[in-house]
Homo-oligomer: A and B are copies of this chain.
Amino acid sequence: MHQNINMPIAEDGVRGRILDAAREEFSQRGFEASSVRAISDSASVTPAMINYYFGGKRALYEAVIVDAQARLHSRLGVAVADGPTAANLAGAYFDFLAEEPQMQRLLLREMLDGGVERFPELLRPLRALLTQHFGGDAGLQRALSLFGAIAGYFIYEPVLGELLGEDPLSSDALARRRSHIIALSKKIEEFES
């Protein structure tokens, strides 16, 4: 379970406080529903500072996304370096979502709101990996199932609490889920569709 890729989630100073508050607010409420004043309040800053540092609400949002995308890519990069097996890719994706559940929400919202048009770079490396290592239609079907199974856990997370009898994001539950996913990834590789 890799962590501490050298791309800190936080940043010092006012700019960093704004970025942190924005990531939290955007992931919780979505872009439109988030208010600049709520973000600035939570960062202990004047609303005008957001325009001073970022140029506007939209630009701030894009900064948050680009920030997330950089961390996802770096994570996938080291996974491929470790050997581009389905299990490694699945593990890297799982860890990314597990360690930054905010990001799962944020990326999901972005996908719902803007498709993939708005940030074409966002999933490009992921797509490249998929076509490279899960070629053909059958391979693609398997990849979709695997990555869906990974994402599904975090998407349905709010509902899973009483189903699992424990916090789905607790390290115990996550470890259990992760090992199931790894096993699934191996099982799915030898699966002819």
Contacts and interface: CB of A to CB of B under 8 A. Distances in A.
Given A116-B159, A148-B153, A151-B148, A141 B105 contact: no
Contacts of A151: 148, 152, 155-156
Interface residues of A, number: 48
Contacts of A156: 111, 144, 147-148, 151
A180 B144 CA distance: 10
A68 to B, nearest CB: 16
Interface in A106-141: 108-109, 111-113, 115-116, 123, 127, 130-131, 137, 140-141
Residues of A contacting B: mostly: helix
A158 interface: yes
Contacts of A123: 159
A191 interface: yes
Contacts of A179: 193
Interface stretch (A26-34, A40-48, A49-57): A26-34
Contacts of A177: 141, 144
A28 to B, nearest CB: 9
Interface of A: 29-33, 105, 108-109, 111-113, 115-116, 123, 127, 130-131, 137, 140-141, 144-153, 155-156, 158-160, 162-164, 176-177, 179-181, 183-184, 187, 191, 193
